[in-house]
Amino acid sequence: MNVPTLFGLCAAALVGFGLYGVITNPQPLRKILAFNLIGNGVFLLFGAIARRGAAAGFGGDPVPQGLLITGIVVAFSATALAVALLLRLFQATGSATLADDQPAKAEADDLHA
Amino acid sequence: MTVASALALVLALLLVSIAMWTVVTRRTFAAVEGFVAYGLLLSIAWVALSAIDVALTEAAIGGGLTGVLLIGAAARLRTAETALSAERAGAPLRWLAAAVSAAVAGAIAFGVLLLPDPAPTLAPAVSEHLPSIGLGNAVTAVLLAYRGIDTLLESIVVVFALIGVWSLAPDHLWGGYPGPRQYADPNSILAYLARVLPPIGIIVGLYIFWVGADLPGGKFQGATILAAMWLLVMMAGLTDAPPINRTWLRILLVAGPLLFIAIGFAGAVTAGAVLAYPEGYAKLLIKVIEAALMPTLTLTLALLVAGAPERTAPP
């Protein structure tokens, strides 16, 4: 198996674990982390495709590589916005969960009291 | 199996294991720490894929700034952690999620194995037109010439994200200082590093920005390093983030994208197309745009980490 295929399969696994984390983890910070895993998986797959396009003396196709840099910066700003929303939720409600069962929230409130 | 592909295999296995661990571990703080290590490993993966420019960006943003952001958030959310760590999705949901995730991952893996051979590539087209731009780094040429519209929109998106973060301020704190005031023991290692590292970091950041025309590097990587240095000084309590109602700050935040837009539209007159550069001036104009974007990106990236205003504005 060559290196681009290897990282392509690695990217598929990252997307899989990220998706599982986004669905099953009720804590928003963990969802943000897992969502970043999905994003990294997509980037890595794109990077593997860029590597396969090596030609004309370049180690990889520079067009996807340029777009990847743009993508990483945009993913960071989206993550920062998500974290800011989460911290604001925490300030406003004293809770940092999306679970709809009230006991968890009550426990978090008790902890603050 | 060669040494290089054996190393790549180890790297891929490490990446997948750490990714799995950040998803399944019960302690949020540990998951975030794992994610930082994972970001640094990912930048080595970019080197293995011959994408040095992407590796620099990943190390600076993916491993660095995202790590600072998430560790800061995890630390502030710690008070709610004990209650939260008990929370878990029910077994049926977990099995269903596992099945869906495995199906998606399997479909992508199947696609990877079926990729066309020979692979489609734009590398020859980039190589053919590179001399007319005068840059040696093809990725910078893609970012600022062939796909200039992406970079223009991106430089606007990061400012929009910052406006989004700021707009989370409660009304009475609008215009105030971002985030909590940081304090550190003046004799601590953090305060020491915050005095010693920035001079070196600033030079490295400016160098990476400057060589971006011909070698791996560029404004994003350089600006991220400058932003990291500023954040380090802020975290050590040696300086404070500026209150967001400062006029100079707001001017600098929009100056880069505005100049990019102005040069882009000037291209319609001088070179016959929006975001085109007149013959012979491409490299000069690209460096002007990058130099104008540097302060904007540095401020934006650092202030995105600093967060929404939490302290009242000075009179």
Q: Check if A98 contacts B (Cβ < 8 Å).
A: no
pLDDT in tens, A36-63: 999 999 999 999 998 888 777 788 888 8
CB B250 within 8 A of CB B260: no
> What is the 3-class SS of B35-61, one letter each residue?
HHHHHHHHHHHHHHCCCHHHHHHHHHH
CB contact under 8 A, A73 and B220: yes
Q: Alpha-carbon distance A81 to A17, whole Å?
A: 23
Contacts of A4 in chain B (CB under 8 A): 49
pLDDT tens string, chain B, 315 residues long: the values are: 688 888 889 999 999 999 999 998 888 888 999 999 999 999 999 998 888 889 999 988 887 899 889 998 988 888 776 665 556 778 888 899 999 999 999 999 999 888 888 878 888 788 787 777 777 788 888 888 888 888 899 999 999 999 999 999 888 888 888 888 888 888 888 888 889 999 999 999 999 998 887 888 888 889 999 999 999 999 888 888 888 888 899 999 999 999 999 998 888 888 878 888 887 788 888 888 889 999 999 999 999 999 888 888 776
User: Measured between CB atoms, which of A7, A21, A111 is closest to B45?
Assistant: A7
Q: Alpha-carbon distance B189 to B159, whole Å?
A: 33
Closest by CA to B219, choosing from B201, B207, B233, B232, is B207
Contacts of A77 in chain B (CB under 8 A): 157-158, 161-162, 300, 304
Q: Does the pLDDT at position A108 exceed 70?
A: no
* ipTM value: 0.89
- Domain extent listing, chain A: 3-112
How many angstroms separate the CA of residue A93 from the nearest CA in chain B?
A: 11
CB contact under 8 A, B161 and A80: yes
DSSP one-letter string for A61-83: -HHHHHHHHHHHHHHHHHHHHHH
Contacts of A89 in chain B (CB under 8 A): none
Contacts of A82 in chain B (CB under 8 A): none
Q: Choose, out of B14, B32, B101, the residue to mutate when testing the contact with A (most A CBs < 10 Å).
A: B101
- Domain extent listing, chain B: 137-315
Domain range A3-112, its CATH number among 1.10.287.3510, 3.40.1390.30, 3.40.190.80, 3.40.50.880: 1.10.287.3510
Confidence (pTM): 0.88
Q: Choose, out of B14, B54, B144, the residue to mutate when testing the contact with A (most A CBs < 10 Å).
A: B54
pLDDT score at B1: 64
pLDDT score at A110: 47
Q: Does the pLDDT at position A102 exceed 60?
A: no
Beta bridge partners of B178: B309
Cβ contacts of B38 within 8 Å, gap of 6 or more: B15, B18, B19, B22
Q: Burial letters for B37-61: b for 16+ Cβ neighbours within 10 Å, e otherwise?
A: ebbebbbbbbbbbbbbbbbbbbbbb
Q: Residue B59 has which token pair?
A: 């190390």
Q: Where do we find the tokens 């989206």? A: A78
Task: Please tell me whether residue B239 adopts helix, strand or coil conformation.
Answer: coil
Q: Alpha-carbon distance B90 to A24, whole Å?
A: 8
Q: Residue A45 has which token pair?
A: 């797959």
Minimum Cα–Cα distance from B221: chain A residue: A69
Closest by CA to A47, choosing from A31, A33, A59, A64, is A64
CA angle B285, B226, B211 (to 5 degrees): 45
Cβ contacts of B197 within 8 Å, gap of 6 or more: B229, B232
Contacts of B80 in chain A (CB under 8 A): 90, 94-97, 108, 111
Contacts of B7 in chain A (CB under 8 A): none
Minimum Cα–Cα distance from A93: chain B residue: B80
